[in-house]
Amino acid sequence: MAGITSKDLVLTRYAEALGQATPTKGRSLTQDALGRLVRNRAALASIILIILIGLIAFIGPYFVPWDFSKVDWSAIRKPPDWAKGHYFGTDVNGRDVLSRMMQGTQMSLTVAFVATFVSVTIGITYGAIAGYFGGRIDGLMMRFVDVMYAMPYILFVIILVVIFGRSPVLLFVGIGCLEWLTMARIVRGQTLALKEREFVEAARAGGAGPLAIIRRHVVPNLTGPVVIYATLTIPEIIITESFLSYLGLGVQEPRTSLGTLISQSASAVESQPWLLLYPAAVLITLLLSFTYIGDGLRDAFDPKDR
Amino acid sequence: MGEPVLVVEDLSVTFALRDSEVRAVKDLHFSLSAGETLAVVGESGSGKSQAFLSIMGLLARNGRTTGRAMFGDVNLIDLERRALDLHRGRDLAMIFQDPMTSLNPTLKVRTQLTEVLVRHRGMDEQQAIKEAIEMLERVGIPEPTKRANAYPHELSGGMRQRVMIAMALLCRPKILIADEPTTALDVTVQAQMLQLFKDLTNDFGTALVLITHDLGVVAGIADRMIVMYGGRCVESGSVDALFYDPRHPYTLGLLNSTPHVEDRARRLNPITGSPPNLENLPKGCAFHPRCAFRFERCFSERPELVSFDSGRAKACHYQDELTYEESAA
């Protein structure tokens, strides 16, 4: 009967089309969350802004006429002057504000990412080990965290400045080594809950050792909280850096950072407002954007929202 | 039946509490032959799960196991974690109750399946994936290549339980312990799963331990059964013998509280009372407060497990035939 309606032919074609239309690709929970994040308008705008600022900061210096450390003796403390190529004006020493801002943003972003990366890495490892092994090990490790919390943060930073004063990136590796405490607590709490889940028990029943379980079954399940926390740590480090620069402990001349730029121009805000306004605008944009992304991520990873 | 693959003697499990101890399992004896299906039946808290978790070394931190569980000539109870890891997943596998949470939500099905193969059989990733997909096909998952690339949340409950079965059987274990594998599934899927268990364990010669409180499941696929109450075995023997001629009042009570399709007129007779508190078991026979056949001896003296007929044993002082009327009274 097959020949009469040529149904078989149609069905075969349909089946082939179906087979090709659904490529064998699973969507992970993280991919789902990222999809939801991109649908969040504020978060999407923030991502675009940050990418834009990052691009300008890292590529921009090749396109502006003045180097960030070059002094233009004919233009000291001058407002924006397009003819000379000082689009954002010049500072007290006659250096171009725009290229200094680009360099400063570069510095701020770099140290923020470096410090966050270091703190997240240490925090995950430490927290997951404490949480998974539990008992006495957990007690000891978390008491150490408590003690570290009690120490005055700024004291450590001053010691680090003395050691690493010449290299801002190393300085912020050091700051990352101080920032992991909260991350460790968050990860430990999550791990305590995760290790009671049946898939961890199933992995143990399959003969997986503790380190394999932590690596394959615990850490991947921490993606949500870790990503959210990391996104919120970045602006925190930018602020820390600005604060340290304000105290004169941060980045050293002739290099600069957003915090240094702001602190140096704060005193001259009435006579030369352009020195303060531009870097402050960039700093605020960055902070707000990261916060919005963190907020968007929290919504995107929210299990109740699925 | 084949030769014994697991011989358990004097198995006891205790949990240390703040200032007391709970004995979850006491003096459990049984042996498991290659290819056989053993059902372990009992109410919640009868120690049936804890007995097998202890053999697998999966007890909670405050749990302690004594006795022997001989797998060949190694005692699984004494093994260190590292040594036990060589057997877990390769020789002994376990399937848990809830397929919804037994798979890691962040890893592809494929990755979770190949993990055991790479660890225990030293396969490379490509070979392992091939083997995993073949096993997915064996457990009846349509389009196994596509499903292997899916994440667990993209599969249905029955499909996930099939994945769990595939994962457990990948290394062709000698013993498969299934802890209430069908409880979380709906009835039609349950039947499919039981058939699958039966077929696969037959094909691979795997001994199956089925921990359950569903006597319908037991009747369907088990060869022998152990009835546990208050941490002890109260009756054991072949499934047919225990179903048609129960000798322990508790077994009879369990059977009476199971609905039968043919017998609609009969009222269900639940066992009165509630399971005993393991921290404070009744004196004498632990079942006596709920037993319709009790007499003076039951209040003071705990009955030992005594063998009778061939391959049957019971722990009860009452020696006459148990009758339905009396138990219902």
How many Å apart are CA B59 and CA B49, to the nearest integer? 10
Query: Where does the pLDDT of residue A23 fall: very low under 50, low under 70, confident under 90, or very high at 90 and above?
Result: very low
Flag whether residue A223 sits within 8 Å of chain B, measured between CB atoms.
yes
The pLDDT tens digits of the residues spanning B251-266 come to: 988 888 887 777 666 6
* Concatenated DSSP letters of B199-213: HHHHHHT-EEEEEES
Q: Is B62 on the interface with A (CB under 8 A)?
A: no
Confidence of residue A209 (pLDDT cuts 50, 70, 90): confident
Q: Which residues of A touch B117 (CB under 8 A)?
A: none
Chain B hits for A208, CB-CB cut-off 8 Å, are: 85, 89, 115, 119
Q: Work out the minimum CA distance from B101 to partner chain A, whole angstroms.
A: 6
Find where tokens 């890495």 sit.
A121
B146-205 pLDDT per residue, tens: 888 888 888 888 888 889 888 888 888 899 999 888 877 788 888 888 888 888 888 888
- Which tokens is B143 given? 């389009």
Q: Residue B114 carries which side chain, given as an amino acid letter?
A: T
Please give the model's pTM, rounded to 2 decimal places.
0.78
Question: Average pLDDT, stretch A268-286?
Answer: 85
- pLDDT tens-digit profile of A56-109? 989 888 888 778 877 777 877 777 777 777 778 777 777 888 888 898 899 888
Residue type, A15: A
Chain B residues touching residue A25 (CB < 8 angstroms): 149
DSSP assignment, residue B304? P
Residues of chain A above pLDDT 70, percent: 89
Q: Which residue has 């994440």 as its token pair?
A: B151
3-class DSSP state of B80: coil
Contact A241, A108 (CB under 8 A): yes
Q: What percent of chain B has pLDDT over 70?
A: 96
CA torsion sign for A181, A187, A190, A191 is negative
Which of B92, B98, B151 minimises the CB distance to A26?
B151
Chain A residues in contact with B97 by the CB 8 A cut-off are 198
The CA distance from B302 to A228, in Å, is 59
Tell me: ipTM over 0.90. Answer: no
**Closest in B58, B84, B109 to A201, CB measured:** B58
Distance (Å, rounded) from C-alpha B13 to C-alpha B180? 20
